[in-house]
Amino acid sequence: MITENNYKIERVLNIYVIGLILFVLNIILFLKFGEKFGDIFIDSSREVTVPLRILDGQVIYKDFHYEYGPIVPYFFALICKIFGSGLDVFRITGLTVSIAISLIIFKISEVYINRIYALLSSIIFIFLFAYHSEPINIFNYILPYSYVSIIGLLCLLLVYLNTLKYLMDRKIAPLLFLIVSISVCMLSKLEIILSTLIVLMFLPLLFNNNNSCLSKEKNLEGGKRNAIILFWIIPIAVLLFVYIYYFDYVNNEIYYLVKKNLNNLIGRTALGLNNIEYHFTKAITSFLFFITCGTLFILIDNYAIKKARYNYIQILVFITILLITTQIINVEGYDFLFNSSSLILLPFTVYLLGIVFSRGKDHRCVKHKVMLVITLSSLALTFRMAFNNTTNFYGFYLLVPSSMCIIVVIYYYIPLIARKYFNKRTKLLKIAFTIYFSTMCYSSFSNTVDVSEEKNKRLTTDKGALYLYEYQYDATQYLINDFKSSLNKEDTVMVLPEGYMLNYFLDVVPTSYNNSHLPDLTADSERELSLIQEIDEKKFDYIFIVPRYAFEWDLPVLGKDYLIDTIKHIDDTYNFYALYGTMPFSEDGKYGVLILKRK
């Protein structure tokens, strides 16, 4: 129930004010942290070099390996062709995606909850996902390990939003946007494709003519459009899926991707298979915390605060909630509630199924149907981190729809159930969780500040600026400034095991097939032999050896734990050229880049 004060706030919070708030918040965080996101070696280097490879005439999948669908690399190639290939071009694209997602989350959420809580849902996304920082700094929306992840997520959320908009007003524009959004989703990542297929499976349930609030004319018009939905969108999506099946990343890599996720530390950590008892216990604890607190807040609200004569009792309760919330976040982490997102959404899904099947022909059931599909799609999206629901790691994009659903559960469905079946009010529940989420956002922001302060050296290049850790700065700056002047335009460089950001800063377009040469791509003898053959065939002018430890695969040291024959072959065919910093892998915690020149 919206109070008079809330109603006044709602009138002020129109869509333009909301848009301005989210825009300004994104800009402030972008200016503060933008140059500190990304890593000199790990993953983000792939995202800035792939478009340059395409512009250089290389063909994706044929001339170089790419793990995901083709649409985003070609989109960035077009952007770089128009605006140049500086880091700021990539960053501003990430900023645009972050702003768009925060607005879409608000638009979806406000269908179910009032604008105050819908705004809170968008703010949670901004602080916990878009501008969240970890030491590696590649799980963010400004310079992420994969732009396909965040652009695919953007299009998936657009699928949700345009499905809602079409059902609510039956106009053709949302239908067209739905077609485009589904098509992009089907050309992105496997997780996004799976979640989109869940939506496609339920389109017949959503797009039917049983909405009694519509006139016969609108029902007839809707029937024609439903034919477009069923006989055009689904075939288009399926054909796109079949089409990309013939690309290398699907045809050759699905089995290997699954095997990699099960056999290396990154994949097992993402799934939660490492220390599964810990992850399962934490998820159960988080779920019980959610249920217990929710029940307790409703009981206190109805049997204590409601009957209290003095306002100081309410104030005391709110202060107590704030102190307890702060302590829980300090002990368990700011994303503690989302550790049980799957456990929270599963029973909620059963409840929605009950509503849909009991009142399926009621026009008021439409938004419940859509929320059911969004919830199922959100659960499918998290399969890659089944036992490890955390906003860190891959959760920076996989958990976004789930977090939005949880906000809707807390601020819409729990009050609906409490009021309808138990005749209980839930004002304290909403206030308490608002305090919790606000504290959670502040804690995440503080963590980002702490991590970003450790990157205190600003590397300035022709391509843009990037903050490095102090131990990385001197050698990297000297390498780029000194070595770049000795390079010829036609010179080629291979970086082992990973780190094509160096190619990017040196204005050298990579020509090797793989963007990295870590154990997941080179550990078996057949793939290592292919790498040796490639070195002989392409005759790279220089090979860089960088201290990128591969602890994720329990094979940390290049030349000692993996690619042993490759390093021996390089020793025979290349000479020492230069060393910037300490010899790579010679001392833990020391940094340096070794450059070898072909004999």
Q: CA 155 to CA 487: how far, in whole Å?
A: 41
pLDDT for the residue numbered 400 = 93
**DSSP letters of 347-370?**
HHHHHHHHHHHHSTT-GGGHHHHH
Query: Where do we find the tokens 């729990």?
Result: 414
Helix (H, G, I), strand (E, B) or coil at 244: helix
Closest CA to 147 of 88, 106, 93: 93
pLDDT for the residue numbered 495 = 92
Cβ-based neighbours of 439, under 8 Å, separated by 6 or more = 322, 325, 326, 329, 334
Helices 71-83 + 147-169 axis angle, to 10: 100
pLDDT of 19 > 60? The answer is yes
Q: Among 67-76, 107-116, 214-223, where is mean pLDDT lowest?
A: 214-223
pLDDT for the residue numbered 14 = 79
Closest CA to 490 of 540, 543, 546, 537: 540
What are 340-390's pLDDT values in tens digits? 677 788 888 888 887 777 665 555 578 888 898 999 999 888 877 766 677
Higher-pLDDT residue of 412 and 322 is: 412
pLDDT of 328 > 50? The answer is yes
**DSSP letters of 177-210?**
HHHHHHHHHTTS-HHHHHHHHHHHHTHHHHS-S-
Q: What is the mean pLDDT of residues 66-78?
A: 89
What are 478-532's pLDDT values in tens digits? 888 888 888 888 899 999 998 888 889 988 889 898 888 888 766 677 888 989 9
Q: Name the token pair of 19.
A: 């848009």
Can you give the C-alpha Rg of the chain in angstroms? 26
Confidence grade of residue 419 (pLDDT, cut at 50, 70, 90): confident
Amino acid at residue number 160 = Y
Cβ-based neighbours of 104, under 8 Å, separated by 6 or more = 154, 157, 158, 160, 161
pLDDT of 131 > 70? The answer is yes
Q: Among 10-19, 303-312, 529-538, where is mean pLDDT lowest?
A: 303-312
Q: Contact 141/97 with Cβ under 8 angstroms? A: yes
Closest CA to 72 of 142, 143, 146, 144: 146
User: What's the farthest any 2 CA atoms get from each other in the chain?
Assistant: 88
Q: CA 511 to CA 54: how far, in whole Å?
A: 11
pLDDT for the residue numbered 200 = 84
pLDDT for the residue numbered 248 = 47
pLDDT of 330 > 70? The answer is no
pLDDT of 209 > 80? The answer is no
pLDDT for the residue numbered 535 = 93
Q: What is the mean pLDDT of residues 259-270?
A: 53
Helices 115-125 + 4-12 axis angle, to 10: 60
Higher-pLDDT residue of 92 and 61 is: 92
CA angle 83, 86, 90 (to 5 degrees): 80
pLDDT for the residue numbered 255 = 47
pLDDT for the residue numbered 363 = 52
Cβ-based neighbours of 447, under 8 Å, separated by 6 or more = 132, 133, 334
pTM value is 0.88
CA 409 from centroid of its chain's CA atoms: 22
Helix (H, G, I), strand (E, B) or coil at 119: helix
pLDDT for the residue numbered 95 = 96
Closest CA to 123 of 111, 108, 107, 105: 105
Sign of CA dihedral 493, 497, 500, 502: negative
